[in-house]
Amino acid sequence: MIGYQMVGTNDVHKAVEFYNQLMPVLGAKPAMKFGEHGQGYAFASGQLFAVNTPGNKEPATIGNGQMTAFKVDSPEIVAAAHAKALELGGTCEGEPGPRGEFGDFSYFRDLDGNKLAVFYMKG
């Protein structure tokens, strides 16, 4: 199990506004603040997701092939999270819906271009 995931931002204020509204849809709530550098969000499972400025003070960049995926409890949450992300200024990378026999998935990018997925697995 992964304990936490962090994504970088170059605009903490905008990123925290985005995630403060998106994370409750996914079942997480603000858990820790990293001063002026970012914000962490906790899930009931104990896992943490955070957005922050890079510690080395270099610009945050996205990683080609990197993606953070959030497992949720229903296809409705998949769709709601995708809609919320786009409403907040995120960009679509794949509309919500079934992906083969696996379940429902959606893909989007946050305001800094970090790729995120939300998924519900059948069974």
Report the pLDDT value the prediction gives residue 123, as an integer from 0 to 100.
73
Amino acid making up residue 122: K
Contact (Cβ atoms closer than 8 angstroms) between residue 114 and residue 8: yes
Residues 7-19: pLDDT tens digits? 999 999 999 999 9
Query: 67, 79, 88: which is closest to 21 by C-alpha?
Result: 88
81: its two tokens: 């999270």
Mean pLDDT along residues 18-30: 98
- Report the pLDDT value the prediction gives residue 1, as an integer from 0 to 100: 61
Question: Structure pTM?
Answer: 0.92
Angle 1-82-114 (CA atoms, 0-180°, nearest 5)? 60
pLDDT tens digit string along 91-115?
999 999 999 888 999 999 999 999 9
Structural domains of the chain, with CATH: 4-53+66-121 (3.10.180.10)
Query: Which residues in the chain belong to E strands, given as ranges?
Result: 4-8, 29-33, 38-42, 48-52, 68-71, 91-98, 103-109, 115-121
> For position 122, what pLDDT does the model report?
82
pLDDT digits (tens, 9 = 90+) for 36-93: 999 999 999 999 999 999 999 999 999 889 999 999 999 999 999 999 999 999 999 9
Rounded CA gap, 102 and 78, in Å? Answer: 14
